[in-house]
Amino acid sequence: MTRLFTLVVTIIMLAGCIRIDVEINDDLDLPEVTPIQTVAQYVEDFNNADLDALNESSGSPFFWLMGDEKNVYEKYGDSVDFARLRSKGWSYSKINSLELIYEDDKTAMVYMNFSRYNVSDEVILTAGVNYLLVNNAYKWKIKGVFAPNKVTVGKD
């Protein structure tokens, strides 16, 4: 009995000497790319008229709320017509400012002020829009856009 007692006491004392460090990382489900970087990449993909990249970086369904107009599309590519945008004078867009409005582990809101330019590098539109992003499979995806006024994407 004394041997058993001594063994138990020894195990308890040794257990107190063993230290196991466990690091808990609560950020494992956060994407490596930030919401701001996601929107900046979106503008680059838009300028390249890369529908595959735009569809990949957006959620499905995708929505636009512009002024009084509300549209929902199966995917982002269904919402934009680059040939029509070009026929209206658009050549490229440039970000004037980006601001993170809100972010938690599942959603984010980014405000972007941008300008559209024609082939002569003249501003043809300046607007402010808010992007709703969702954390989808560890990647921020643009789910929808809110704009106080109509900002054409070529479908009108």
Read off the pLDDT of residues 14-54 as tens digits, 9 standing for 90 and up.
555 545 444 444 554 678 899 999 999 999 999 999 999 99
Determine the pLDDT at residue 24: 46
What's the pLDDT band for 136 if we cut at 50, 70, 90? confident
Determine the pLDDT at residue 90: 96
Distance CA 96, CA 39 (A): 12
Handedness of CA 8, 12, 17, 23 (dihedral sign): positive
Beta-carbon neighbour count of residue 40 at 10 Å? Answer: 16
- Does residue 92 have a pLDDT over 70? yes
Coil vs helix vs strand at 127: strand
**Is 0.95 surpassed by the pTM of this model?**
no
- Does residue 121 have a pLDDT over 70? yes
- Domain 34-147 belongs to what architecture? Roll (3.10)
Determine the pLDDT at residue 16: 56
Coil vs helix vs strand at 93: strand
Please write the tens of the pLDDT for every residue from 47-82.
Answer: 999 999 999 999 999 999 999 899 999 999 999 999
Q: State mean pLDDT over 113-126.
A: 97
Determine the pLDDT at residue 156: 63
- Does residue 155 have a pLDDT over 70? no
Q: Please tell me which residue, 16 or 154, carries the higher pLDDT value.
A: 154
The domain ranges of the chain are 34-147
Q: Mean pLDDT across the chain, nearest whole number?
A: 86
Which of 120, 124, 119 shows the shortest CA–CA distance to 151? 124
Asked whether the beta carbons of 145 and 133 are under 8 A apart, the reply is no
